[in-house]
Amino acid sequence: MIRKHVCPTCESEYELTSAHVPVRDKDSISCQICGTEIISWNGSRIWDAKLLKRGEPPSP
């Protein structure tokens, strides 16, 4: 399963790909640009994120 996700903070675009693994996994992926958590999981479906378009990190 592939889905597109836009970071709510910096508007970077990611392509998220899910995969099923035989064991439960608990992890999360954060935005490479601003560090906002994009997705988290706890179970046998894990995710991988590919950066499609860089957004602008929020100014301090």
Q: Which is nearer to Zn ion, 10 or 16 (CB)?
A: 10
CA dihedral 23, 28, 29, 35 (to 10 degrees): -160
Contact between 17 and 2 under an 8 Å Cβ cutoff? The reply is yes
Q: How many residues sit in the footprint of Zn ion (CB under 5 A)?
A: 8
Q: Which is nearer to Zn ion, 12 or 46 (CB)?
A: 12
Question: Which of the residues 1 through 60 are near Zn ion (CB under 5 A)?
Answer: 7, 9-10, 12, 31, 33-34, 36
Which residues are within 8 A (CB) of 24 and not within 5 positions of it... i.e. 6 or more apart? 42, 43, 44
Binding site for Zn ion (CB under 5 A): 7, 9-10, 12, 31, 33-34, 36
